[in-house]
Structure 1
C-alpha cells in the first residue's frame, strides 16, 4: 500500500496578516478636560494607562477619569418622568423663558468655597483693578472676609466673576509683578478659570420679574471682560446685552432716579460701573462690528470722584487720615480721561461706519460725511492737558504703589492711539497717512514696559489687528519707496513684539498670537517682493530671514 504523502507542517504555512485593530472612539473626556469644557477625541483624551492627554500635559495637570459614570437617557419606562425632569432643569437655569417661576432657594457653588479666592482677589487688585475699578476695595474685601458671597447670590456672582478673570489672566501671563507676603500666585488644579466662570453665570438669574442689584450688574461686566480674555465674542456680546437690559430695568443710568438712601461709597461704585460699562460698550462695538448698546448722551451720571478708595470711607471716632492724592494728582484722574477718549471714539466709529459702509447697503445714510479733523484736535488737546505723571512711566523698583499710575499711562496711551487710528480712517486716508499712524502706534507700544504689555496683552492684540487692516490697504495702492521702507519697519516691529508676548496656547488669545505672527511673515514676504521691484539692490538679509 502506498504511504500517504507527508502533510505540510504548520511552520510551512504562510502566516496570516494580523487584522488591524479598530481604533476605539473615545466619548468621555478626562476629569480636567471635563472641567474646562474640552470635548473628548482621539487627539485630546486618551485612556488612563497612557501618558495623558495633550490638554493635561499642556497645563501640567494629572489626566484622570475618576468621576462617576452617569447613565445616559431616561430610565426605562419613564419617558414622561424624563420629560418632566428636563422641564425642571430648564426652570433651574439662570436664563429662563418668560413666565417661568422664580427659584426660591439658592446654594453657593463649590467654587465659592475655594481656598484660592483670597489670592485671586489680591491678584485682581494689583493687576486688574487699575483698569477696572468696579468696586471700592476696602468694603468689598470686608464683605468677602465675612463670607457674604456664601449667603448672597448676587454678591457671589461678583466674587466668582472676579476670580474667573483673575485666574484666566494668571494662567495666561503668570504672576508678573504680583507681590504678596501672604499668598503664592499658584492656582490649584481644581480651581480652573472655567469653574469660576460657570459659578458666576449660575449665580446670575436673568429673567422677567427678577429684582436686580449692582452686584449682578457688576458681574455681567466682569464676565464681559473675561470673555474678551478668552476671545469668546459671542458670549461677550451676550453679557453686554444682559447689562443693558438689567440697567434699563433699574434706571441705572440716571442718578437722579437712584435710591435716596445710598451712601457715598454706593454712589461712587455706581458711577464707576456706569462709565466702565460705557467704555466696554464702545470697545465691543469696535471689536465685533456690532451696534453700540448705549451712548454718552444716555448717561446722566457724574464722573467718579478723583480720589483714592480710602478717602471715600467715613472716619471712625478719633481716627486721623494721612493726606491722599486727589484731583489731577490722583490715578482716578487718568481713569476719567480714558472715559473722555472713549466718548471721542464713539463718534469716530459712527463716522467711520457712515463713510466706509458697504456700497450695496439697503438703506442710505441720512448724514453726510463730515470733517473728522475735530476729533484729532480734541485728542491733541486732551493729551496736552494731561498731568505730567500721566504721560510717562514711573520707576516701581522702590515704590510698588506707582504701578497703579503706570497702568493709567498704558490705558491712556493705547486708547489714544486707537482713537487716532479710527479718526484717521473715518476721514479717508492715503497710504502714507495710514502707515504714519500705524508707525505712531508701534512707537507708542515700544515705550510701554514689557510687563505692562503682558498684563494688557489682549487689547494689544486687537490693536495689532487694527494695524493689519490699515497696512492691508497699501497692497492695492501705489506706494513710494520710502513708504515701503516704513511698512517693513512696522511689520518687523510687530513680529518682534509678538514674539515677546507669550500666551496660553490653548486659549483663543494664544491662537490669535499664532495667527498674527503668521500674518507678519506673509506681509514681510510681500514687502520683500515690492522692495526688490523698486530697488536694484537685493533686500537686506534681516528682511529675507
Structure 2
C-alpha cells in the first residue's frame, strides 16, 4: 500500500509510465487533487493508499515492539510519499519513526535475523543506504538534523546481484546499482562537508576563536569525487531522453541525478571557503 501511495502520487503529478515517452500529464497537481487517470477511475487517489498504510502501521508508542522489516520499509515509503505531496512536517515525522525503529533494533547487518537469502539481504542494504541519502538531503534542504552518521554504519553496499528485479540484461552489461553506490558515496562526502560547515557557524563551537583552514579538506574531497566519477562507466555520464522503458530510462535518470548531486556537493564545498565572496562562489559554480 505504501508503494502504491507513492506511485499513485507520482503518476498524478505527471511522472511518465510505460509507453509514455513524455512527461505524463505534466499538470503537477497538489495533494488531494486528481489528474486525468484518477478522475477516469483508472488509479485510486494516493491519499486512499496513504490512509490504509497509516492504519496498518504501528503507533509511535508501539515502536519499541516493532521488529518487522516491512514496518521499516513502510515508514520509509510514507516519508517519500509525503515529500511528493510537499507535506514536509509529515515527511520529517516518518523519517523520525524510521530512525527510532532503526535505533531500537540496533539495525546493523550483524544483527539481522539469520536465514536471510541474498534477495532479502540486498533489499535491506538498499533501504538502509537510500534512506541515509534522504536523511542528508532533508537536512540540507530544510535545515534539519542528520539522524545517522555514515561513520556509524555497519551495513554493506548493495551489489545488484541475486535480487528479483524486472530488468533482464542491463545496458552495456552494467547494473544500475553501480551508479547508485556512487551516488551514496557523494552523500557520505556531503555529510562530512555539511558537518564542518555547521560546526564553523555554530555559536556553541568551542574552537571558534581559532583559525580553521578548510581549503585543503575541500580540495581533497573534490578530488575524491572527481576520481570516483572518472571511474564510472560511460553510460552514467550520458543524459538520455526518456523512452518510457524503465530498464533504459533508469540510466538517464541516474546520470541526471549524478549531475544534480555533484552540483549540490560543490555548493556546500564552496560555502566552506572563506576567501571568496558570494558572487565569486556563484560564478565558480556556474562555470563548473
TM-score, with structure 2 as normaliser: 0.81
Deviations 1:496-517 (A, max 9, x none): xxxxxxxxxxxxxxxxxxxxxx
Deviation at 1:309, TM superposition (A): 3.5
Deviation at 1:366, TM superposition (A): 3.8
1:418 and 2:264 are equivalent in the alignment = yes
1:186 and 2:27 are equivalent in the alignment = no
Alignment check: 8 A CA contact 1:307 1:332 kept: no
* Within-5 A mapping of 1:285-324: 285-307=139-161, 309-310=163-164, 324=169
1:169 and 2:10 are equivalent in the alignment = yes
Match of 2:131 in 1: 277
Match of 1:435 in 2: 282
Match of 2:72 in 1: 217
2:55 alignment partner, one of 202, 212, 216: 202
1-structure distance, mates of 2:268, 2:286: 14
1:338 alignment partner, one of 183, 192, 205: 183
2-structure distance, mates of 1:397, 1:327: 17
Deviation at 1:192, TM superposition (A): 1.9
Match of 1:409 in 2: 255
* Within-5 A mapping of 1:126-137: none
- Greater mean deviation of Cα atoms: 192-201 or 366-375: 366-375
Alignment check: 8 A CA contact 2:241 2:252 kept: no
Deviation at 1:340, TM superposition (A): 0.3
2-structure distance, mates of 1:165, 1:339: 22
TM-align CA RMSD: 2.8
What runs of 5+ residues in structure 2 fail to find an aligned partner? 21-35
The count of residues paired between Structure 1 and Structure 2 equals: 262
2-structure distance, mates of 1:399, 1:193: 23
Alignment check: 8 A CA contact 1:354 1:365 kept: no
1:238 and 2:93 are equivalent in the alignment = yes
Alignment check: 8 A CA contact 2:109 2:154 kept: yes
1-structure distance, mates of 2:43, 2:249: 31
Match of 1:543 in 2: none
- Greater mean deviation of Cα atoms: 225-234 or 265-274: 225-234
In structure 2, do the counterparts of structure 1 residues 397 and 198 end up closer, same or farther at CA, with 3 Å as the change threshold? closer
TM-score, with structure 1 as normaliser: 0.44
Deviation at 1:400, TM superposition (A): 6.0
In structure 2, do the counterparts of structure 1 residues 211 and 354 end up closer, same or farther at CA, with 3 Å as the change threshold? closer
2-structure distance, mates of 1:169, 1:271: 24
Indicate the structure (1 or 2) with the bigger Cα radius of gyration. 1
What runs of 5+ residues in structure 1 fail to find an aligned partner? 1-159, 314-321, 442-545
**Bigger relative contact order (CA 8 A; separation at least 6):** 2
Deviation at 1:265, TM superposition (A): 1.0
Match of 1:73 in 2: none
